[in-house]
Amino acid sequence: MNRIELAELIRNGENSGIDFKRDGVPADGLAKVAAAFLNLEGGRILIGVEDDGAVSGLTRDRTAAEEWVMQVLRDNVQPPVIPFWETVVWDDAKVVGVVTLPADAPDKPYKVKRGSGAWVTPVRVGTTTRDASREEEARLYMQSGHLQYDRKPVSGSTLDDLDLRRLVDYFRNFRRQACPEAEDHEAWSRLLVNTELMAQDRGRAVPSVAGLLLFGTKPKRFLPHAGISAAAYVGDTKDYAARSRDTMHGPLVSLFPNPGNAAAEPQRLPRTFGEGVIATEAGVIEQALDFVRRHIDVSASVDEGGRRQEQWDYPLEALRETIVNAVAHRDYTIGVMDIELSVFSDRIEVISPGRLPNTVTVEKMRAGYRASRNELIKEVLRDYRYIEATGLGVPRKIIEGMRANNQTEPDLVEEESRFVVRLWKGTAPGVRQNA
């Protein structure tokens, strides 16, 4: 870093990734900010800069300042961290120390020790640093892969809160696996614990988060955010007087027709919506797809062979992939909101609560990077063929699918606490199209 770059940082002031500290800041104050940056997206601490941006400079020589910083972050942050250290000459009499914390720190959550000896997890919110809530700390564990939230037990729930019909359908027809008789609750509990659709909670087997989301009779009773809120609008902005509103709730997966015997071929899910086996009872995914299909247009033509061809406003495989990704990868620790599905005159938006999982970026998604926040949910949806093993659903089905359908480029946007996918209708004025 040079003086011009440093001056620009100081001029812009403190923010989510920049903090000013005078030399002489208490060790716990430096450690708290450093850990908070590591728990967010990294950042820089400028030592020798006052809160108002005035440069006071280091009060000790550069070597002593570096040794002090390294010692503080080894002794007061857990797990210990070694930052990148550099100094920048401000003028003939002043030098600023710059502590850089990486954006992709792998061992979240980072904790700091309080004077009482307790370890706490700091997080950065704008220009402030505060202790993480229980939910925020859980999300940090998930980002690092230390906690699989979808495997957690849901206290208060029981085997009776799972739809055994769907479970039988899943094990027999999709996994091609024998399963107990419906009345054998003990055997079912063993099977579901072994497949992590149930988990041990104080000596009792109870459904896991994934078990309830996928197969629960009424998941919202225990997980109020387990659903999709959908709305269709007349124009291109949200309006109280929507054309239609609906809430998709219940288990994620559908119940499909019984093939009649255990030796029959497993059920085949449609590769494109509207083709193949029709669900006996639609799950949240199929409910959402049906809502979209009712509010978009389709044109028909006849090809040279006399076959009817349908052209939808949006490729149906892209719609399916977008909705499946939303339910499979959303942050279920955020318990105050459903996934939001909006159909506008010029686009479809699907908003998932929570940021992308740790190490995942929009650029990596476009390239087909494979990572999952809810690994168990993803694996079950893969059994149902909602998700392909290649992990190329985003680049192939969404990006290439939209380009082939109407030459538009979908938007994949990570915001402060949510992830947004926008699929554009090609005939809308002002839509970004491929060159």
145 vs 206, higher pLDDT: 206
Question: Taking the CB of residue 269, how many other CB atoms lie within 10 A of it?
Answer: 20
- What stretch of H or E contains 204? strand 204-207
Residue 116 confidence class, pLDDT cut points 50, 70, 90:
confident
246: pLDDT confidence band, cut at 50, 70 and 90? very high
d(CA 77, CA 114): 10
> For 363-383, what is each residue's pLDDT tens digit?
888 888 777 788 899 999 999
Q: Which CATH architecture has domain 3-132?
A: 2-Layer Sandwich (3.30)
Q: Pull the structure tokens for residue 365.
A: 């998604």
Q: Mean of the per-residue pLDDT values for the chain? A: 86
Instruction: Average the pLDDT over 95-113 and give the result.
Output: 88
Residues 283, 399: Cα–Cα separation, whole Å = 26
Q: Is 118 exposed, middle or buried (0-12, 13-18, 19+ CB in 10 A)?
A: exposed
Is residue 266 over pLDDT 50? no
Residue 4 corresponds to which tokens in the numbers above? 């011009």
Average pLDDT over residues 208-227: 93
C-alpha span between 19 and 289 (Å, rounded): 46
Band the pLDDT of 426: cuts 50, 70, 90: confident
pLDDT at position 429, please?
46
- Examine the pLDDT at 82 and tell me if it is beyond 90: no
pLDDT band, very low/low/confident/very high, at 428 (cuts 50, 70, 90): very low
Which of 259-268, 311-320, 347-356 is predicted with the least confidence, judged by mean pLDDT? 259-268
Helix (H) or strand (E) holding 215, with range, is helix 209-215
**CATH number, domain 228-424:** 3.30.565.60
287-333 confidence digits (pLDDT tens): 999 999 999 988 766 666 667 677 788 999 999 999 999 999 898 88
- What's residue 268's pLDDT? 44
Q: Name which residue leads in pLDDT, 400 or 371.
A: 400
More confident residue, 205 or 146: 205
Predicted pLDDT at 432? 56
- Average pLDDT for residues 271-281, to the nearest whole number? 52
According to CATH, where is 3.30.565.60 located in the chain? 228-424
Reported confidence tier of residue 356, pLDDT bands at 50, 70, 90: confident
Averaged pLDDT, 107-131: 87
Question: What residues form DSSP beta bridges with 246?
Answer: 230
Weakest mean pLDDT among 100-104, 223-227, 271-275, 352-356: 271-275
* Element spanning 363, H or E: helix 362-367
What pLDDT is recorded for position 144? Answer: 67
Please check whether residue 284 is in contact with residue 327, taking contact to mean a CB–CB distance below 8 angstroms.
Answer: yes
pLDDT digits (tens, 9 = 90+) for 382-399: 999 998 766 688 999 999
Cα 430 to Cα 423: distance, rounded to the nearest angstrom: 14
Intervals of CATH 3.30.950.30 along the chain:
3-132
